[in-house]
Chains A and B, each alone.
Chain A
Amino acid sequence: MLMSCGRNQRYSSRRELLARAGYGLGAAALAALCGGTASAEEAKRPFPNFAPNARRVIFLFQSGGPSHLDLFDHKPELKSRFDQDIPPSVFGGQRVTGMVAQQSRFPIVPTRYNFRQHGQSGMWFSDLLPHTAKVADDICLIRSMHTEAINHDPAITFLQTGSQLPGRPCMGAWIDYGLGTENENLPAFVVLNSLPANGMPDQGLLSRLWGAGFLPSRHQGVQFRSGADPVLHLSNPAGLSREQRRTQLDALAALNRRAYERAGDPEIETRIAQYEMAFRMQASVPELVDTSKEPDHVYKLYGEAARQPGSFAANCLLARRLAERNVRFIQLYHRGWDHHGGLTEKLPALARDTDQASAGLLLDLKQRGMLRDTLVIWGGEFGRTVYGQGAIKPDSYGRDHHGRVFSLWMAGGGVKPGYVHGASDDFGFNVAQDGVHVHDLQATILHLLGIDHTKLTYRFQGRQFRLTDVHGSVVQSIVA
């Protein structure tokens, strides 16, 4: 048994306690809160199951479906096939979306961008990603991702929750549930949304993507926002100083303690502790999001856009600061990759938004020695079709959603650097080798955190659920 400040030893079980307490406050944090140390019981926490490679995750999610064919997956032999039909044997049973269902044919459009090899590893990148190319030797590129979903909502929901339909907890919530927090002043799971620098985003996000599903709702991600109130309702109102707040909270705590003495309900003690944590967050969060003291050489890494609050680059910098404070799961969303038409106009700008900042984040983590135990993931919910959508020209085209193969990269946190896993076929259409299904990716991420994905379960409505459902196998060959 453990719990708050020694006085109250009344939870029927550790599970009950955790189900009622605040954030997945680990015992260490709770103990620290109360000026004690973690109990022996807590040391027996079931996760991690084995020594983890990664202690935290930064997921740079690219919502909308970045085109693997124009960024990562080099198919030089397509150059000569402009406007040719895809061989039926390749097309197979493709489920086409309603957006191209009227097309009488599905003509190939090779990428208009040049690809080059980079680094010791000789990894191929298109010229749209010059900065990422420079960190090729830190990257583990998966060119054989695949998913069943063909539309945004189900595909993003699938990647984040393991199910295409709403209702399941997202990856960050699962990990928070499994591992708890290592920082008593900050939530364990933080979400940062950014808008594309140029133009409007297209597809919507959903707060369920960082929701807790059927897990207790405290495991949901806390959205950090750009602007005055980085966490909703964090700031005291005008006319109420921090000292006054302290005075008020002292009185509140004294009154709540009297209620506890009267009613004996341990929930009251938890509430007292949560008000204290709220008070600490009022100091720790503004300190965290204040990047003004970051030196210029850091901004050089992420790019000047990092000075623009709410930009992807600024959020990458924040992600590093969160990682430094041992926030467990840091989820970034960048939107605008849904290039059905005008891909050639929009993609370069999107690549610019993310390229330097993502590479900068890797470099920054690396030079701080944090890349070793921080897993960085870059990718979206699916790729895009090799066939064009609508009118096509060699230098102007659009592409539809494509889930049968796409690319995603990871770095740090125990994955093999400078390594390419899997391959698509000659058309970038199907997996040719070593396919990685969404559930495999999830299993691997959990594995890197020291969690056996088959053991991270939660009982809901009479059955045991897990992130990977009854599927998924760890992609051992990318683990360093």
Chain B
Amino acid sequence: MIGPLLRRLRTVTCLLVTFATAAFAKLEYGRDVRPILAENCFHCHGQDSSKRMAGLRLDTVAGATALRNGKAALVPGKPQESGIYLRITAEQKALRMPPVHSNRTLTEVQIATLKQWIAEGGEYSRHWAFVPPTRPAAPQTPWGKQPFDGFVWQKLRAEKLQPQKEVAARTWLRRAALDLTGLPPTPAELDGFERDAARRGDAAYEAAADRLLATPAYGERMAMEWLDVARYADTHGFNNDASRSMWRWRDWVIDAFNGNMPYDRFLTEQLAGDLLPKPTLDQRIATGYGRNHVINSEGGIIDEEYRVEYVADRVRTLGMSWLGLTLECARCHDHKYDPVTQKDYYRFYAFFNNVPEIGEDGRVANAVPFLPAPTKEQQKRFAELEARMAALQSKLQEEERSYRWKASHQARVTAMAAAAKPPGETVLHLPCEAAGTPEGIALVPGIGTACRLEKPTDNTMLGPMPISRRQPLTFSLWLRPTAADRDAPLLSASDYSHNRAATVFGSGIDIRLVDGELELRFGDRFPAYSMRVRSSGARVTAGEWHHVALTYAGASPKDNRAQASWVRMFADGREVPVTILNDGAGLPEAKNDKPAQRRFRIGWDNYPQGNRYAGELDEVAAWSKQLTPADIRAVFEAYALPYTLKNPNHPWLRQAALRATNKRFAQTEKALEQTQAEWLALRRETPTVMVMEEMAPGRTTHVLQRGAYNAPGEKVEPGVPEALLGAWPAGAPRNRLGLAQWLTSPNHPLTARVVVNRFWQQLFGQGLVRTSENLGLQGESPTHPEVLDWLSREFIDSGWNVKGLLRRLVLSATYRQDSAAPPNLIARDPANLLLARGPRFRLPAELIRDQALAVAGLLSQRVGGPSVYPYQPPDLYKGIVVAADYPGTSWTESKDADRHRRSLYTFWKRTVPHPTMAVFDAPDREFCIVRRSTTNTPLQALTLLNDPIYLEAARRFAERMVEQGGPTPESRLAFGFRLATGRAPDEDELHLLSKAWNQMAASYEADQQKASALVSGKASASELAAYTVVANLILNLDEVVTKG
């Protein structure tokens, strides 16, 4: 049968138009010839040996010139003797290439091109981007401030052009500030810089660049670009599109840029931070890069189908991020154009195929694997609390060491036991006494008598009791496991009888013992749609009696979620930390729904193979409420103390006696408990982040035929196309870490070029290779290959110094050119491919809003933290989002300063992106994007004119003009204009602004009511309303939304 995505996949066949070329003087193989051969010949005579016909290979010079029956397909210089030319011009249909059945035909121009190429010597050349960059000698030229400027100048001279004059200092500052920090310079900064530049020239520029690179806003600006590449978002995508928590990864990116982390480390930690020796928390957080992809939680999808997509997404993102290659083209068949085979693709794929993940996951929270990722402040607090706990702990141990049992302690402990009053109102109770023990359970000696499962039957059950995710719960029981109880059901009301693929597999609730720890499973489907929480430190040992308990607080009424962090666990009367393995429990039942009545299998479950708990149980109890830690302690003590009184050396007894008789011990213990409670509470608040992990043993990777998840072919090992892109580093491990080492080896032909090209794009509006996503054979050629190579080499040699590179770029003469140019130059080079003028581009979506907020004085400059919810049309999601109340399906506007944070912190919902950003071409981030489009539409005009975000900015901007802009309308308008554009208006411009203001002021004077509707609660409403309209006008100026 046909695989699900197969039809789509088969189709990714990379069809291409070939160039009509005969116009070129001397042909270039890569540009002129290869596309023709690739499109028409390589299908049967290319690198794919399984498809190769007649043993002829035309993609290598060796193959083309090899003698076959005494003849060669290519005889350099001699078309009439070359098989290629003879066959493409053969009269006889049967001989003519390409064959009729291939549906391919060569045009006359193409035939002429091939003929000319053979005549010119039939040279094959290696694609420029697959040859490691070397540093070209920078020419000495009369113009230039950085060595690479010389190359630009040379090319301009060759075109008989001059560079544009240097742009005004203030304009450079605005340009550089927007490029490096995303925020406009303040008037004070402009004044200071203009003075400094007049005095010190280049030194002032250097100082300004250093200052910009040192602001925290720099890291935010750089992160903004990277978030597109790494497809960061705050929701999982697909039609449920619930929220996820990846902001700790996003903050890692900001910190990395601000700390000027060398780019090779930036790459390595994101790709393989978890595989570094003794990885730090930050290094593990960094691997969130590999988990930013969309994750599907639609009920009923086939797990493997989507898991394969996630792995494929990682390969695609790797290809775009750092290789500049469309690796995904080789998913279903060998790449049609780049020398990447399907096998190469799956060798890349093998690096990313070992994540312990689930295809259908992420319905209400992060998908596995994820990690608690405390913030810097939380980490500090954890360290403080842990130090305190350790100190208290050792104090207690000291007291215990000097302790000796005295007969008088007996009475004190007995009194304590008697005072311990377990709370009543149990909804379940199995005392394991003669009365009330169900069939299938044997009574054996224990604490009194205890239960042991003999033979499960339909009656070997406890209950029913009401179970609901809305409902708080407590379970408590005593147990003495055997050594064989490695994963044993203690109480099971989950249904494991179905096929694992079924959406109801494992629905219900389970309490299990797993490797000496307590585990709760509670949800709709195991494991992805359940909360699965395991204690960490209960240490239930075989052959010993232990008490365990767990409580669940019920779904939070605030966000209507059943969260795993609401589960707390206890061992032997003390709370123990928990690890959340899955946090996917479904939504609580409707408020009016009756909770399900569940019966618990005692010590067994209904997996088809049937698991059994072999040890003993006693005093099993449950409550439909959340007991406090003190209650749990009472439950424990009431049974523990009488039991241990027979054994004076038992630590429980020792501790109880100390508690009763030694004030210092009791106080220290109390202090420890309080500290621990605080520590546990902090753990529950800790955000998580999805990360990369390796399974042991890993999955076996196969070539997937036609890319289909259910059509595995040849087995492959992780590896890279070494012949094409360089050898695997000696001694590097065959995993993602080795892959990172390979990518960052100093002679890798692509990594540095791809990265440098993207930084160039950020500053100049387009890359030196305009197709920044593709440096392969189908990408465009670099406009200035020497500049790209010089900078790439410099970047590597400088230790992958990002700030150093950007500093060079903004200080260069190329960047410092005026972007204004005479019409004839713009006509000659509309896309500015020659760099004969400075960059002029509309700002990205985020910068347009951030600038408006900054100009208005509204911007909050707080760095990092959870994503925020600025104004968004309240009914935006209506009619679009899924009906279920998953997190992320409603928008509650943030309060206070969080409404005015920088736009990169705006909650990014993939299926309904924030319209204020989407309208300015911000992508939905469903997959990696390295280049946004820059459109110019009427909807953008409507947004800037009427979006409440921009109206609010205009109102505050108007107030600022009035407050800070001097005494007259003219001075205020000039002040406002300069705030937004970075320059003073000229006479005409000021006149136009004044005229508009006067007209507005007059009309509002005539209609005060209207003025008050626009600007509420101000005394001189008509004037302020007029300033507001002009402020709105200024924020709409082309010059304001453009970096020029």
Contact = CB atoms under 8 A, between A and B. Distances in A.
Contacts of A22: 935-938
Interface string B931-958: 0011111111111011110010000000
Nearest to A464: B15
A9 B827 CA distance: 8
Contacts of A100: 300, 502
Interface centre among A259, A461, A470 (most CB of B within 10 A): A461
B935 A99 contact: no
Interface of B: 1-2, 4-8, 10-17, 237-241, 294, 296, 298-302, 309, 326, 329, 336-337, 360, 498-499, 501-505, 771, 773-774, 776-779, 819-823, 826-827, 830-831, 840, 842, 873, 875, 878-883, 889, 911-913, 915, 918-919, 921, 924, 926-927, 933-943, 945-948, 951, 988-989, 992-993, 995-996, 999-1000, 1003, 1010-1015, 1025, 1029-1030, 1032-1033, 1036-1039, 1042, 1044
A52 to B, nearest CB: 24
A288 interface: no
Interface stretch (A265-273, A292-300, A341-349, A414-422): A265-273
B14 A148 contact: no
A222 B1032 CA distance: 24
A247 B999 contact: yes
Contacts of A206: 238-239, 241, 880, 911-912
Contact of A265 (B771, B840, B918): B840
A92 B1 contact: yes
Nearest to A462: B778
A252 B935 contact: no
A43 interface: no
Contacts of B882: 202-204
A44 interface: no
Given A217-B935, A263-B1044, A462 B13 contact: no
Contacts of A307: none
A218 B918 CA distance: 11
6 contacts: A153-B296, A217-B935, A218-B937, A233-B942, A244-B1029, A462-B779
Given A98-B360, A205-B880, A217-B935, A470 B15 contact: yes
A232 B942 contact: yes
A473 interface: no
Contacts of A274: 936-938, 940-941
Interface stretch (A121-129, A235-243, A361-369, A443-451): A235-243
Contact of A463 (B15, B504, B915): B15
Contact of B16 (A92, A270, A463): A463
A456 to B, nearest CB: 13
Contacts of B773: 461
A464 B939 contact: no
B946 A21 contact: no
Given A93-B1, A227-B875, A463-B14, A16 B831 contact: yes
A12 B819 contact: no
Contacts of B819: 263, 265
Interface centre among A148, A207, A282, A471 (most CB of B within 10 A): A207
Given A232-B939, A248-B1029, A258-B989, A239 B237 contact: no
| Chain A interface size, under 10 / 10 to 19 / 20 to 34 / 35 or more | 35 or more
A400 B779 CA distance: 45
A275 B505 CA distance: 57
Nearest to B946: A233
A212 to B, nearest CB: 8
Interface in A195-234: 195, 200-208, 211, 216-218, 222, 225, 227, 229, 231-234
B830 A16 contact: yes
Contacts of A98: 299-302, 360, 501-503
Contacts of A9: 827
A236 B1010 CA distance: 12
Interface string A66-110: 000000000000000000000000001101011111100000000
A148 B935 contact: no
A291 interface: no
A255 interface: yes
B841 to A, nearest CB: 8
A254 B1013 contact: no
Contacts of B1012: 239
B8 to A, nearest CB: 5
A119 interface: no
Contacts of A12: 830-831
Given A204-B240, A264-B821, A274-B938, A232 B1010 contact: no
A252 B356 CA distance: 57
Contacts of B501: 98, 101
